[in-house]
Structure 1
Amino acid sequence: MPNLSTPQPLPPGPLVIKAFSTSVQCGFPSPAEDHHVERIDLMSQLIKHPQATFMLRVSGHSMRDAGILDGSVVLVDRAIKPESGHIVIAVVDGDFTCKILQTGPDFFRLVAANPDFADIVPNDGQAIEVWGVVVASIVQHAV
């Protein structure tokens, strides 16, 4: 996999995988059914604006409680207008960060999904750019 510490454009073409047509229970197991397998294109399911969507690898633990873990790869769509409550990639003092955007009539802040991390509130004159909106996170668990 390429180094994803800087935004990388998505590779062209579909990413097709096999998918079961049934859901998986997280409580008690469901009775065995005749499972039908079909092929789906993940790119068409996850990506609405291919030319404006990038991949980034996340490092750190500030978004842990949102399910974005250290080493996760996030898909970031720059064509989506960021709104309060979106998980975003922002540029703070020239560095990328992944946080939850919170805005209101009198405030702007970037909030971590981990109580061990402080909010980022811009100081007077500090430039913060919301670079894009996170649309998916891919977590690789050790097997």
Structure 2
Amino acid sequence: MTSPNTPEAAATDADQFLHRASDNTVTILGRADEYAGSTPLPLAGGEVRAGFPSPAEDYLEGELDLTRHLVQHPNATYYVRAKGDSMEGYGIYDRDLLIVDRALDAHTDDILIAAVDGELTCKRLGIIDGCPALLSGNPAYPPIRLQGREVTTWGVVIYNVHALCRRVTR
């Protein structure tokens, strides 16, 4: 059992606060459909080094269905597009595609989609002075303290997809 004034107790309180609860905007694109036709893509064998180059291997390992690979709970998963710059410090940029799982309980340090006083936002769940708060990844945006506010968790962001090539505009 944890003392009520420890970080562990505060984290548990934040998790329970959001679980009980009935700047950036979020556009819901749709939910993952386990029955929709998939488009398996070629999966190259081996690994790609991010440091020094290594000799390429000239074979394919097989095919990879990204939905099967990324979505654990298809009936509870949906896609949203992030808007704004408040989460850039956490690697989420304007127009990024977020994969959100509603089947997961929110825990401290998770990135969530939540409605706060009726407005949707994407933020990281944290603790400030022992109370739950939603934190941005940009110092220009202050934390959103949750005590005394109406909060509904819409899911935990499990993956973020963003383009690395500037010519890609989706």
* Alignment partner, residue 136 of structure 1: 159
What's the CA shift for 1:83? Answer: 0.6
Report what 1:48 is aligned to: 72
Instruction: Specify the alignment match of 1:9 in structure 2.
Output: 31
Aligned residue in 2 for 1:108: 132
Question: What is the letter of the counterpart of residue 109 of structure 1?
Answer: A
Pair 1:60–1:22, CA change in 2 (3 A): same
Report which of the two has the higher share of helix: 2
Q: Alignment identity in percent? A: 33
Unaligned runs of 5+ in 2: 1-25
TM-score by length of 2: 0.73
Cα distance in 2, alignment partners of residues 109 and 132 from structure 1: 16
Q: State the aligned residue count.
A: 139
Give the whole-Å Cα distance in 2 for the aligned partners of 1:61 and 1:72: 11
> Which structure has the larger Rg?
2
Deviates more, 1:114-123 or 1:127-136: 114-123
Q: 2:84 aligns with which of 60, 67, 85?
A: 60
What residue number does 2:46 align with?
A: 22
For residue 93 of structure 2, give the secondary structure of its aligned residue in structure 1: coil
The AA in structure 1 aligned to 2:88 is R
CA RMSD of superposed structures (Å): 2.1
Pairing of 1:59-138 with structure 2 (within 5 A): 59-103=83-127, 106-122=130-146, 124=148, 126-138=149-161
Aligned residues of 2:80 and 2:99 also touching (Cα < 8 A): yes
State the TM-score, normalized to the length of structure 1.
Answer: 0.86
